[in-house]
Amino acid sequence: MAMNFDDFKNDWKWKIEPSQEIDIKNEIEKLRSSMHPLDKLKRNMRQEFFAQVIALVFLAFFPILGKFNHISQIIFYYSYIVFALIAIYYLATFFRFYNQIQQYSGTTKKTLAQIHTGLLLNMERYKAFGFVLLPFVVTWLLLYAYDVLLKENKTLAYLTDDKILLLFIIIMFSTILFMLSVVLWVKFYYGKYTRQIKSVLDELEE
């Protein structure tokens, strides 16, 4: 006896839906176990940590590479020591947060929520560190410009009012651009992981 077409569709639907339900459960289990957003986040944090350490070391040789005069070198290294202490403190907190993620076992939603909160706080620390870096960079660039004047046998009297105004505009524009770049970089480099982890938390909530 030929099977009715409607019966055939109902039978096929019965076969498909339990499988789909299992697939959904499997996907949630994968979210619970692998936590791939954290794996990508850890990789990026490792790369950024080593890049910042290298940059910190490289800055120490900036006066030598720029062939600063003796006075400019003294001013530079005094400010560099202050900056290095701030940078070391930031890198220590950055590394501590990385270890917190590294030790995450993926067994509790509460711990993942703490990671999400910690990441948001670390993003704010990152921006604050970038903003703290700004006055040091401006100081070092002014020292470099002053050193160039001395090498050309010129004094600060060479800077007329128009040139000072132009220098001020350049500094202000560069400051705004630098701060905007820091905010966008943090959002681009870490923001996507906060959204992914939040998505995982929402999945676990469901």
pLDDT tens for the chain, residues 1 to 206:
444 445 534 443 444 444 444 444 454 455 444 446 677 788 888 888 999 999 999 989 988 887 888 888 888 899 999 999 999 999 999 998 888 887 765 556 777 788 888 888 888 988 999 898 888 888 888 888 878 777 777 766 666 777 778 878 888 888 899 889 989 988 888 888 888 777 777 776 66
| 175 occurs within a structural domain | yes
Three-class SS state of 154: coil
- 112, two tokens: 């993942």
Instruction: Show the domain range for 141.
Output: 34-205
| 28 occurs within a structural domain | no
- Position 194, amino acid: T
Q: What is the pLDDT of residue 31?
A: 47
| 159 occurs within a structural domain | yes
| 157 occurs within a structural domain | yes
Q: What is the pLDDT of residue 26?
A: 52
| 70 occurs within a structural domain | yes
| 17 occurs within a structural domain | no
Q: What is the pLDDT of residue 50?
A: 92
| 29 occurs within a structural domain | no
The per-residue b/e assignment along 30-43, b for 16 or more CB within 10 angstroms, e otherwise, is ebbeebebbeebee
Q: What is the pLDDT of residue 14?
A: 42
Q: How many domains does the chain have?
A: 1
Three-class SS state of 111: helix
**CA–CA dist 171, 178 (Å, integer):** 10
> Does residue 167 contact residue 89 with C-beta atoms inside 8 Å?
no
Q: What is the pLDDT of residue 107?
A: 53
| 136 occurs within a structural domain | yes
